[in-house]
Amino acid sequence: MRIFLTGATGFIGSAIVPELINAGHQVLGLTRSEVGAQTLLAAGAEVHRGNLEDLESMRSGAAVSDGVIHCAFNHDFSNFLAICEQDRKVIEAMGDVLVGSDRPLIITSGTGMGNAFPGQPATEDHFDPNHPNPRKASEVAGALVPVGSSNMVKVPICGMYLDSLMMAIFAPSSRSITPNALGPVPPGE
């Protein structure tokens, strides 16, 4: 498979690139810098120049790929509301390109928003769309990718193992992969 990977040179993406390549996949990695491009080329990936503000770049990367893994997120927390809205638009733009296909859209997320019962801790496998956290925009956008026309899979970061990401690629009928489905989280994650 040819995978369009946003955040390919970031914390999570840089760990995913070699896993995908070693599994025989081609990686089209999003980068906004020359240093990032050189890093991707050295790892054996293809370079897709662009950034999260350029929705056409997001669409074109998704259009030429067999699947998308969206790991990028702008960590400018001084403008968190706008950044969350930007992420929603990115997910929608890539999702629109995948509609009508069986190509997966995998969204990494680490936000537990809401609890199943009052007094219980928030978990990644329960989502409250009325939660006040602005990050919910990404969750809502991912949930709106049409089932049956594109396979959206949410992989929570706090319990994410690369094996679970590979499972999401090869078992795209799953809608969500939660830490509970993967077993215990190793110490330190």
pLDDT digit string, tens, across residues 134-185 = 777 777 777 777 644 445 555 554 444 445 555 555 444 444 433 333 333 3
Residues paired with residue 178 on neighbouring β-strands, in sequence order: none
Report d(CA 9, CA 6) in Å as an integer: 8
User: Which residues in the chain show pLDDT less than 50?
Assistant: 147-150, 157-162, 170-189
Say which residues have a Cβ less than 8 Å from residue 81's Cβ, sequence separation at least 6. 134
Q: Is the entire prediction scored with pTM above 0.85? A: no
Report d(CA 114, CA 132) in Å as an integer: 9
CATH no. for 2-182: 3.40.50.720
* Torsional class of 44: left (φ above 0), alpha (ψ -120 to 50), beta (otherwise): left
